[in-house]
A and B are shown apart, each in its own frame.
Chain A
Amino acid sequence: MDAEAVDFQRRLAEVARADDSLKQVGARAEVAVQKLQLARRWAHRASTLATIPEFADDPDFAFASMYQAFQDAADAFLCAHGWRPGGDRAHQRTFQLAAAGLHPVDPETATHLHESERTLRQARREIAYDRTGVVSRRDLQDFFALAARVLPALGRRTCDVVEFSPAPADLVDWAIPDLA
């Protein structure tokens, strides 16, 4: 692991000493790559749903699928460092910690993730528990633009940290469509 990954791993261990909802992951490289492949599959599903006419009037479906891709990719990134959040507020902590860990190597993308994570979680919570018709096409368009930036960055960094080299092409190029 490079110096940034070692430092982030140390910071996660410090967080875990004060918060027992952060759990250590055993086979970190295998779990991280599996999670990343899962994220890639969710991103592909979301992209398909967003671009086929049958689902044009239901942007919530594509949004929820892309949210799952974010969750799995952030989870993969943390697993690559040997840790993953559990318990209450696991999604919030996963996104916030992933943004913190990404910051030293890609500050701009990390800031985008940090600034958007609450909006993402709010919309996903409404979609899952409250109502239909939560997001607009414009919301979906901006979410996909964010995904096209954040997911490949998390994918590349996860592969680097677990020294999965050369990284498979589909974990570097996520082929997320521009909905604009």
Chain B
Amino acid sequence: MPTSVAQALFGSETFPRLVTALAAEPDRRFTTGELEARIGASHDSTFRALQRAVVTGLVARERVGRQFVYCIDASSPIFPEIKTLLSKLSGPAEALRRALAGLGPPEVEAAFLFGSAARAQDTLASDLDVFVVGDVSRFALARQLAGAERELGREVNAMAYPRRELIDRLAAGDGFLHEVWGGPKLMLVGREDGLPAAVRVE
């Protein structure tokens, strides 16, 4: 059974994420590796989604040296409709990334979606849970994300903890943090391997 509207429509989570990521930066060409990191999918899954996207005409492929690069083909006759559909279905991550782009380190070192949206089990009415590693308050985050919240029509619950505090809490066995760290994450800022490690100190 599909676990989300996007998966039910497109047959996979990777395809809509891929097209959304490419459409967010229409002037940029991506390597497969860059796309894998951007959408948090495996090499095989990304490769299959790229092949399908090229067949639909939504994505153009070009050889540069020994590798292929990909970009959105905005001239595709179905591109405007697909983009609108994706902004409703797969838009949260991109909208949140744009909203967080105004805050760099030390306020925002890394950020990710967790909970139902990261598990791809969310509905269009689900809240979006955002976790930020950085020195910023949840009040400042709420202000920063207010525009994205309006755009998406969904409530965003954001929390932030400084890296040092996170390391201490993870080491002390904080149950909530270990649950978040052990679950799926959809990275919005930074990379998952850059997050503090979930090491318990007995």
Contact = CB atoms under 8 A, between A and B. Distances in A.
Interface in A18-63: none
Contacts of A172: none
Interface residues of B, number: 20
A141 B142 contact: no
A131 B157 CA distance: 16
Contacts of A165: none
B137 A141 contact: yes
A142 B169 CA distance: 21
Contacts of A130: 176
User: Taking each of B137, B157, B159, B169, which has the highest tally of chain A beta carbons within 10 Å of its own beta carbon?
Assistant: B137
Given A115-B146, A122-B157, A133 B139 contact: no
Contacts of B102: none
Given A115-B146, A133-B169, A136-B165, A142 B139 contact: yes
B199 to A, nearest CB: 17
B122 interface: no
Interface string A64-82: 0000000000000000000
A123 interface: yes
Given A133-B176, A139-B137, A119 B162 contact: no
B140 to A, nearest CB: 7
B140 A133 contact: no
Contacts of A134: 159
Given A118-B155, A123-B138, 11 more contacts: A118-B142, A119-B138, A119-B142, A122-B157, A130-B176, A131-B175, A137-B165, A139-B138, A141-B137, A142-B138, A143-B137
Return the 7 tightest CB-CB contacts between A and B, nearest first.
A142-B137, A142-B139, A138-B137, A119-B142, A139-B137, A131-B176, A139-B138
27 contacts: A115-B142, A115-B143, A115-B146, A116-B139, A116-B142, A118-B142, A118-B155, A122-B157, A123-B138, A130-B176, A131-B175, A131-B176, A133-B169, A134-B159, A135-B138, A136-B165, A138-B135, A138-B136, A138-B162, A139-B137, A139-B139, A139-B160, A141-B137, A142-B138, A142-B139, A143-B137, A143-B139
Interface of B: 135-140, 142-143, 146, 155, 157, 159-162, 165, 169, 174-176
